[in-house]
Amino acid sequence: MKTSPIPEHPIPLSGEQVEAMRQRHLKKHHIAIILLHWFNALVWIWELSTGVALVSADRLRVVPVAFIQTLTELAGSRANLMRIHLGLGLTWIAVFLVYGLFGWRTYLSQEVLKREIALDADDMAWLRIRVLGILGRSSESLPPQGVYNAGQKLFALMVYAALPVIMATGLIMAFHLFGTAVVGWAALIHFCAVGGVFSGLIVHVYMGAVFPEEKPAFFSMFSGVVDEVFAYSHHFKWWREMKLKEQAWEVKHDQAVQPDPTKANESSST
């Protein structure tokens, strides 16, 4: 079987190539990642809602009084609201600890450290050109990206840096560890860390669920796959990596099913 050459750099595609590639898909997310993503999303929605509702002082609250009253009434009391916030937080921490413990070798060390947060020269160029493009000061083409683009990597870096801070400060506040002064500082740091992640989440949700170019990435968090056109145009380095692996498998498979000419000659001579 003759394999077609795989380009080293993105090249214009013909209409026939685009149509054929739309029919083929590449697996971008495993089921465990999809489940963890939506578990995390649901927990964050509830934790943010209950968390801001617990901040009721006039000088500190960030939501309308009506919102606080509504959530308090739904929970039954402010004490129950706190129990919900704490219970969800502890569940969230437990799930991530299990995920980290059992997923380190199979996923975290390879996928997260090497592919999801590691920035290379193309990523730095992508960030520079993207920012200048948004400001209308550059028309350069964006360099090819891996399975995650540089913007996604920066968001992931911020989240992974903030997670242990949010977890640790949350535990200090919940169980009043290390004295009143430490609890006070923990509350401030907790609030700032959550605020930082929330600001990134706004951009993340907009880019994934609203921005037209990124819609296939959003739907991949349900299906686990993206079509080859999207992979080729947005994540060329990853597309090429996957196609090279696919091509290598096809060559190996063809070699395995082809008859051995030496054995064929021996059988014909007998």
Say how far apart CA 214 and CA 129 lie, in whole Å. Answer: 18
Quick check: 22 pLDDT over 70?
yes
Quick check: 117 pLDDT over 50?
yes
- What tokens appear for 200 in the block? 């990134």
pLDDT digits (tens, 9 = 90+) for 58-98: 787 888 889 999 999 998 999 999 999 999 999 999 988 88
Domain boundaries, the chain: 27-103, 148-237
Q: Which of 164, 166, 176, 174 is nearest to 86 (CA)?
A: 174
Quick check: 268 pLDDT over 60?
no
Say how far apart CA 49 and CA 187 lie, in whole Å. Answer: 16
What average pLDDT does the structure give for the chain? 85
Please state the pTM of the whole predicted model.
Answer: 0.79
pLDDT digits (tens, 9 = 90+) for 161-214: 898 999 999 999 988 899 899 999 999 999 999 998 988 888 888 877 777 778
What string of DSSP letters covers 34-80?
Answer: HHHHHHHHHHHHHHHHHHHHH---TTT--S-HHHHHHHHHHHSSHHH
Q: What is the percent of the chain where pLDDT is above 90? A: 29
